[in-house]
Amino acid sequence: MISTLYLLLHVGSVATLFMLMEPCLMYLLLQFRSRILIYAAGVFLLAFHNIDSRMNFLSIPYEYQYMLMISAAWIYMRGQSYCLDKLATVNTGPSVSDFVMMLGYCFYFPMLFLGPLVLYQEFEAGVLKPYAPWTLKRVKTFLLNVVRYSWWMLFLELFLHFIYVGALQMDVWYVTRLGAWAHYGMGYSMGVMFQMKYVITYGLSCTVARAEQIQTPNHPKCIGRIHLYSDMWRHFDQGLYFFLRKYIYIPMLGERPSFAVRLLASFTCFTFVYAWHRIHMFVLVWSVLNYLGVTIEAFSKAIASTTHYHKYEKYLFSTPQNIRRFHALIATPLFMMSALSNFYFFAGMSVGNQFVRRLFEGSLQENSTLFLFCYCCSQVSIEVKNWEQRKEKKQM
């Protein structure tokens, strides 16, 4: 109801009806109880979402069109989650209550524009929970989280007031004239700004959802403490990761998945990620580099799991400390590639190409210093990961 009123007031009745069309279509297709049909409709709608002119008939400013495009991308994923989760349950036939539940899920106001994605199974479980009276602890948790994410919003405003990262990445001419320290500092600042944006938006929307007893994904972890591709995908946007894993990756594996099947499933996931983020060259480069990084990591883990590898590793490095140093050392090039791929995603092709050019044309001193810093980041990431694992064991 709140979402519908908001859309009616800001974009009008035609745009509101346009946004309602996709959930209605998916609910209609759900009645055929065909998983293949739902996936086929998902592919068709994904292609439709990449048509830039699809909202031109709406008599609204571009800013509102852009807002609706973001909302439509979230609604698309929620529609897929609803249908696929419903197919896994007993067929009760169409009903008004089910349709209202679907619309409530797709247009849940705290996450309508901000995200993240909550899978339908978790949303339904939260909505259907018995009413729980508000306790002092629950109120305190809610208020503390609001203050927490509001503080980070203020921090980001102050950050952007003094460090003009958003403006810098729009001026390639200026970026090419930065020194090495400023150049790579700008790259790290772009990552921090991007992460903080989602910490704030996801954090605030999830705070409201948790207050309503809906289980939500965690906000993104700090990019400065993640050095592996697989961990970045697990912990930056958990909602997207859960969606990919549940509806694409696991269904493709089958009962006895081979290594090749796992690579194919990963390829399909990254193809979806590319299409969902819209088909642009910088998104393609980002997606390909991410898939390449995940694949290299998977090959490395497969080799590291063999008996011969453990034997030679123990023989060559002898102590756990040296083995850890070796792991951080061989992970550092992947960490650097991960950063470069993200620069394409943050700032587009021109700025991304400039960072790659800087790396390949940089002096030995520049690149050695950069490698040393990235190696230290890998060590910090390993230490934090080990600390988290020890903490989880104590809680168990």
Rounded Cα distance between 202 and 380, Å, is 25
- The structural domains of the chain, with segments of one domain joined by +, span 2-113, 128-220, 227-396
The DSSP secondary structure of 74-92, one letter per residue, reads HHHHHHHHHHHHHHTS---
The DSSP secondary structure of 94-135, one letter per residue, reads --HHHHHHHHHHHT-GGGTTT-----HHHHHHHHTSPP-PPP
| Dihedral angle computed from the Cα positions of residues 170, 173, 175 and 176, in that order, rounded to the nearest 10 degrees | 150
Residue with tokens 């594996």: 253
What pLDDT tens digit does each residue of the chain (396 aa) get?
A: 788 899 998 889 999 999 999 999 999 999 999 999 999 999 999 999 998 888 888 888 888 999 999 999 999 999 999 999 999 988 777 889 999 999 999 999 999 998 899 999 999 999 999 988 999 999 999 999 999 999 999 999 998 888 888 888 888 898 899 988 999 999 999 999 999 999 999 999 999 999 999 999 999 999 888 988 889 999 999 999 999 999 999 999 988 888 999 999 999 999 999 999 999 999 999 999 999 999 999 999 999 989 899 889 888 888 889 999 999 999 999 999 999 999 999 999 999 999 999 999 989 999 999 999 999 999 999 999 999 888 888 877
Model confidence pTM above 0.75: yes
Question: Do 192 and 181 touch, CB atoms closer than 8 A?
Answer: no
CA angle in degrees (0–180, nearest 5) for 191-196-200: 155
Amino acid identity at 158: L
